[in-house]
Amino acid sequence: MTDSRPVLTMTGISKSFPGVRALHDVNFRLFPGEVHALMGENGAGKSTLIKVLTGVYDTDAGATTLDGEPVSFTGPMQATAAGVSTVFQEVNLCTNLSVAENIFIGREPRVFGAVRWGEVRRRARALLARLDLDLDVSAPLGSYSLAIQQMVAIARAIDIKARVLILDEPTSSLDASEVAQLFRIMRQLRDEGIAILFVTHFLDQVYEISDRITVLRNGGLVGEYLTTELPQLSLVEKMIGKELDVLEGIEEHSRRDLATLEEGTPLVAVSGFGRAGAVEPFSLTIHAGEVVGLAGLLGSGRTEVARLLFGADRTDGGQVAIDGAASSLRTPAQAIDHGVGFCSENRRAEGIVADLSVRENMILAMQAARGWLRPIPRRRQDELVDKYVKALNIRPADPEVPVRNLSGGNQQKVLLARWLITEPRLLILDEPTRGIDIGAKTEIQRLVTQLSDGGMAVLFISAELEEVLRLSHKVAVMRDRQMVAQLANDESLDADRIMQTIASGSHREEADR
Amino acid sequence: MTTGTLTAGRTRFRLPRKQIPVLATLALLLVMYGIGVSQYTAFSNVQVIFNVFIDNGFLLVVAVGMTFVILTGGIDLSVGSVVAMTAMVSAALLQDGMPAALVLVIALLIGPTLGLLMGCVIHFFEIQPFIVTLAGMFFARGMCTFISGASIPITDGFWTSMSQERIGNPQGNFVSISVLIAFVVVVIAAYTLAYTRLGRNVYAIGGNPQSALLMGLPVGRTRIAVYTISGLCSAIGGILLSFYTLSGAPLIGVGMELDVIAAVVIGGTVLTGGAGYVFGTVLGVLVLGVIQTLITFDGSLNSWWTKIVIGGLLFAFILLQRLIGIRYK
C-alpha cells in the first residue's frame, strides 16, 4: 500500500497566535499512495497545520520536507507549484468564471501572452473526463452545484502534477451520492500514487476511505495510527481525551412527557406563518421547556421557518400569540423583546464579529437589548462572560482573545453564549453543531437539554436526525418548503420514520392537536 | 451511475445571462437612435453618430480605464480630476515653450503614477478604494488650481493640428484623431481583458478576491495594475480633452467620474465586480452621448434633462443586474 519513504514530513511544528497556542511540537508524515486522515476536535490545530504546510502561515518552529528536501512555502501558489495542492473547506473558486477557466487560471496555455481558449477548454474537458465528470466547461462555475464545484476544485488541484493533495473537509456540504463520487475520485488518485491528506468530521468517512490516521488534540500530537488498528471508539476517545460517558449521559436523559409539557398556554403559537417563495404557511406551537426539532433536507425551508419566527423575514400573513396574547414578530427587535434568541447557521457571515473579543461578542445581544445608552458595567460583563466561558468550556478560556483566533466550534459556543446571556425564553438554534467536532457537539447537545430542563423553549434545527431525535420532544418535518408533519418524539419515532416522512410527506400527523 | 445525476446538477437555465445587460444596453441604444431618426430627419445623417464619438472620445477612454477598476470590484473617483490635471499640465508646459513630444510624455506619466500610488495605498494598507481615490480626486483637482487659477489656451502647432485633423470619406463625414485613439484604446483593453492573464485575473478578483488569492493569483499586483491602468486612461483622456478644447481649465471635468461610472454601469458592468465587457462600456458611453444629442436636437429641453434621463437609466440598469442575479452564489 505505501512506500517506505514518506513523500512529506513535518517535524516539531509549533505555531502561536496572540493568546492562542495553535500547534505545539507536532509531527506529521504522509506516504505516497495513501489516504491519511487528520483528526481532532475543533481547535485541535488541524486547519493551522494545513495552513502551515501550504505556507499560508509561517511557523514559529519546526521543519517540513518534501521528498527528503527541506521546503518552506511562502504561499499556496508556491506549494502548488511544488506539488502540494489544497482544496479548502469552502470552495475557493470564482463562480463568475467558466469551469475551464477556474481549472486553469494562473497557468493557462498561452501563445505570445494570449490565452489559448480552445486549448484551455480541451484540456479542461480531458481533465474532467479523467474524473468521470461531464460538464459544459464554458458554463460559469456558479451554474453548477456545490458538489460539482468541489470536484472542479479537485480537478484544478490535481492538474498541477500534484503529489500531495490536501482535502480540508471536502464532504461537509455534499450529500451521500456526491460523497461516494468524491471517494471514487480519491481512491483513483490514491492508486495513481498521490498522497491524500483528508480532514473531516465524519468518522464513518474516515473508516471508509483512510489508510492511516493522525490525531491532534489541543494543538498537540496524540499519535499516528493505522486505520485498521484503531477502533472508532478509541479514535473518539483520543480526539476528545476523555471517556465517552458524556455521550451516554444524554441518551439516558429522561425525556419529559410531551403531554405534560404541552399543558397550559404555549409560549409561542403561530398559525398561518409563511412567505411566498420561501416557505408555505405553517402553524407551530412551542411551550416553555420544550425542545422542538426541525428536520428536513438542506433547502427544505428549515432556516426560513427560523427566520420568520425571529422576524428576520416578514411573514406574508398569519397570527402569532405569545403567552396566549396576540402579538407580532415582524422585526428581530420585536422578537428579541419577546425573548426570542436566534443562533444563525451562518455563523461567519451573520453571527460572529471576528475582530471583536470573545467578551465583546458575548455581550453584544444583551447590550442591544438594554439599549446603547445603558452600558453594562465592566464587572458585570466579566462575571457573565466568565460564567459562560466556563459553562460552555470555551477554549482558550481568555475573554480578551479576538474571536477570529478561535476554532469554529468555539466560535459557535461564543455565539450561543451571546444569546444565553440575554436569558431568552425561546432560543432558535440553526445547525448549531454543523462543522464542529464530536466533543463540542456533545457539549452543545447537553447544554440544550439543560436549558430546556430549566424552562427555556428551544427550536433545534439540524440535518442530523440522530441529534434531533436525541434532543427533541416534538419533531416538525420540512419537505419542499412545507411543514409536512409534526411528530411526537415517543418510542415509536425513529430516524427511519422521519426519513420516510421527509421522503413521502404524505401521512400528516398532528402531534399537538 | 452518479455521473448522470451529477451532470444534472445544473440548476440555472442556459441563456447567456452574463450578456443580458450588454444586450439590454444595445437594445436601448437602438431604440433611442430609432426615436431620434423618427423625430428628426437630420438625425439619420451618419455624421450625427460620428459626432457622438468625437464629443465623447475622451469619456470613452476614461470609461475603459474605469471598467478595469470596477471589474475588480473597486472604484476610481479620481478620474475626472486626473483628466483635468493632465490637460492643465499640458497647457502650462506648452505655454512655457516645452516641445510637444516631451509634454506628451510627461502628461502621460502623471496619471499612471498617481494611479500606481493609489493602488499601492489601497492594496498595502487595505483601505477602501472609495476613500483613497477620493483623496486622489481632491489632490489632482487642487493641483489644477495650483498650476493656474484660470484657463490656459493651447496654441501649439501639434495640438492644433490634432484638433483640426479630419479623417473622413468623400461624402464629407469625418471623425477626429481622438476617435481613432479612443478606438485603439478600446481594442487593446478588450484584448487585454479577454486574452491576457492580467485581464483574467481582473475578473477573478472581481468574482471572489479571497478565492483568487488562494488560487495563487497575484491579487495585489493586479489590483495595483488596474488603478495604474485607470490613471493611464485618464491621462490619455486628458490629452484627448485638451485636443478637443485646445486649452487647460482648472474646473473642467468636475463630476466626470460620475458620468464615467454611470456609463460603465449602464454598459452592463456589475459594480461589485467580476462581470462586464469593454464593449458594454462603449455602448454605455454611446447611450450617454445619444441622450445628449437627442436633447440638443429637441432644442427646447434643458440640458439637465440629460442628467435626469441618465439617473433613470442607472436605476433601471442596477435593478436589471439585481434581477438577473448576475453574481452567482
Please tell me if the domain spanning A8-241 has the same topology as the one spanning A248-339+424-504.
Answer: yes
- The string of pLDDT tens digits covering residues A269-289 is 999 888 887 888 999 999 988
- Would you call B217 and A113 a contact, using CB atoms and an 8 Å cutoff? no
Q: How confident is the model at residue A508 (pLDDT cuts 50, 70, 90)?
A: very low
pLDDT at A97 over 50: yes
Q: What is the pLDDT of residue A398?
A: 85
Task: Share the mean pLDDT of chain B.
Answer: 88
How far apart are the CA of A453 and the nearest CA of chain B, in angstroms? 40
Residue type, A145: S
Q: A96 to chain B: nearest residue by CA? A: B207
- Does the beta carbon of A135 lie under 8 angstroms from any beta carbon of chain B? yes
**Which residues 19-38 of chain B have a CB within 8 Å of chain A?**
none
Q: Is A506 exposed, middle or buried (0-12, 13-18, 19+ CB in 10 A)?
A: exposed
Q: A137 to chain B: nearest residue by CA? A: B7
Task: Share the mean pLDDT of chain A.
Answer: 82
Domains parsed from chain B with CATH numbers:
16-324 (1.10.3470)
How far apart are the CA of A100 and the nearest CA of chain B, in angstroms? 12
Q: What is the pLDDT of residue B12?
A: 44
- The string of pLDDT tens digits covering residues B156-206 is 999 999 888 888 877 778 889 999 999 999 999 999 999 999 999 999 999
Q: A129 to chain B: nearest residue by CA? A: B3
- Superfamily, domain A248-339+424-504: P-loop containing nucleotide triphosphate hydrolases (3.40.50.300)
- Would you call A106 and B14 a contact, using CB atoms and an 8 Å cutoff? no
Mean pLDDT across the stretch B58-68?
Answer: 96
- The string of pLDDT tens digits covering residues B219-256 is 999 999 999 999 999 999 999 999 999 999 999 999 99
**How many angstroms separate the CA atoms of A78 and B30, rounded?**
50
- Does the beta carbon of A390 lie under 8 angstroms from any beta carbon of chain B? no
pLDDT > 90: percent of chain B: 61
Cβ-contact B21, B321 below 8 angstroms: yes
Q: How confident is the model at residue A41 (pLDDT cuts 50, 70, 90)?
A: confident
- Would you call B197 and A106 a contact, using CB atoms and an 8 Å cutoff? yes
Phi, psi values for residue A69, rounded to 5°: -95, 135
pTM assigned to the model: 0.72
Mean pLDDT across the stretch A6-14?
Answer: 91
| Residue among A93, A96, A181 minimizing CB distance to B274 | A96
pLDDT at A3 over 70: no
- Would you call B208 and A177 a contact, using CB atoms and an 8 Å cutoff? no
Q: A116 to chain B: nearest residue by CA? A: B195
Q: Which contacts of A226-230 are long-range, i.e. CB under 8 A and separated by 24 or more positions? A: A227/A37
| Residue among B200, B204, B214 minimizing CB distance to A115 | B200
Q: What is the pLDDT of residue B17?
A: 65
With beta carbons under 8 A apart, name residues in chain A contacting B214.
76, 86, 88, 92
Q: What is the pLDDT of residue B7?
A: 41
- Would you call B274 and A180 a contact, using CB atoms and an 8 Å cutoff? no
Q: How confident is the model at residue A303 (pLDDT cuts 50, 70, 90)?
A: confident
- The string of pLDDT tens digits covering residues B22-45 is 888 898 899 989 988 998 888 888
- Does the beta carbon of B73 lie under 8 angstroms from any beta carbon of chain A? no
pLDDT at A194 over 50: yes
Closest CA to A505 of A296, A284, A306: A296
- The string of pLDDT tens digits covering residues B107-120 is 999 999 999 999 99
Q: A144 to chain B: nearest residue by CA? A: B10
CA end-to-end span of chain B = 28
| Residue among B6, B14, B215 minimizing CB distance to A106 | B215
pLDDT > 90: percent of chain A: 13
pLDDT at A513 over 70: no
With beta carbons under 8 A apart, name residues in chain B contacting A109.
none
How far apart are the CA of B8 and the nearest CA of chain A, in angstroms? 9
- Would you call B208 and A156 a contact, using CB atoms and an 8 Å cutoff? no
Q: How confident is the model at residue A162 (pLDDT cuts 50, 70, 90)?
A: confident
Higher-scoring residue by pLDDT: B281, A410: B281
- Would you call A92 and B201 a contact, using CB atoms and an 8 Å cutoff? no
pLDDT at A32 over 70: yes
- Does the beta carbon of A132 lie under 8 angstroms from any beta carbon of chain B? yes
**How many angstroms separate the CA atoms of A132 and A151, rounded?**
10
- Would you call B216 and A80 a contact, using CB atoms and an 8 Å cutoff? yes
Q: What is the pLDDT of residue A254?
A: 47
pLDDT at B15 over 70: no
- Would you call B208 and A180 a contact, using CB atoms and an 8 Å cutoff? no
Q: How confident is the model at residue B11 (pLDDT cuts 50, 70, 90)?
A: very low
- Does the beta carbon of B59 lie under 8 angstroms from any beta carbon of chain A? no
Mean pLDDT across the stretch B312-326?
Answer: 78
Q: How confident is the model at residue B105 (pLDDT cuts 50, 70, 90)?
A: very high
Tell me the torsion sign for CA atoms A326, A337, A425, A340. positive
- Does the beta carbon of B71 lie under 8 angstroms from any beta carbon of chain A? no
- Does the beta carbon of B329 lie under 8 angstroms from any beta carbon of chain A? yes
Higher-scoring residue by pLDDT: A135, A255: A135
Sequence ranges of the domains in chain A: 8-241, 248-339+424-504
- Would you call A142 and B329 a contact, using CB atoms and an 8 Å cutoff? yes
CA-to-CA separations, B140 to A351, B79, B86, B245, B254, in angstroms, rounded? 42, 9, 9, 19, 11
With beta carbons under 8 A apart, name residues in chain B contacting A145.
6, 9-11
pLDDT at A248 over 70: no
pLDDT at A257 over 80: no
Q: ipTM, 2 decimals? A: 0.83
Among the residues of chain B, which ranges form H helices?
2-7, 20-39, 46-71, 79-95, 100-124, 129-147, 157-164, 177-195, 197-207, 209-214, 219-245, 256-266, 278-298, 304-324
Mean pLDDT across the stretch A446-472?
Answer: 85
Q: How confident is the model at residue B89 (pLDDT cuts 50, 70, 90)?
A: very high
pLDDT at B295 over 70: yes
Closest CA to B244 of B90, B108, B124: B90
Phi, psi values for residue A420, rounded to 5°: -60, -35
How far apart are the CA of B270 and the nearest CA of chain A, in angstroms? 11
CA-to-CA separations, A443 to A76, A341, A390, A439, A466, in angstroms, rounded? 35, 19, 12, 6, 15
pLDDT > 70: percent of chain B: 93
Q: Is A510 exposed, middle or buried (0-12, 13-18, 19+ CB in 10 A)?
A: exposed
| Residue among A76, A177, A184 minimizing CB distance to B5 | A177
pLDDT at A461 over 70: yes
Q: What is the pLDDT of residue A512?
A: 38
**How many angstroms separate the CA atoms of A279 and A285, rounded?**
17
Q: Which CATH architecture is the domain A8-241 placed in?
A: 3-Layer(aba) Sandwich (3.40)
How far apart are the CA of B328 and the nearest CA of chain A, in angstroms? 5
Q: What is the pLDDT of residue B113?
A: 97
**How many angstroms separate the CA atoms of B242 and B93, rounded?**
13
pLDDT at B328 over 50: no
Closest CA to B121 of B78, B62, B82: B78
Q: What is the pLDDT of residue A349?
A: 65
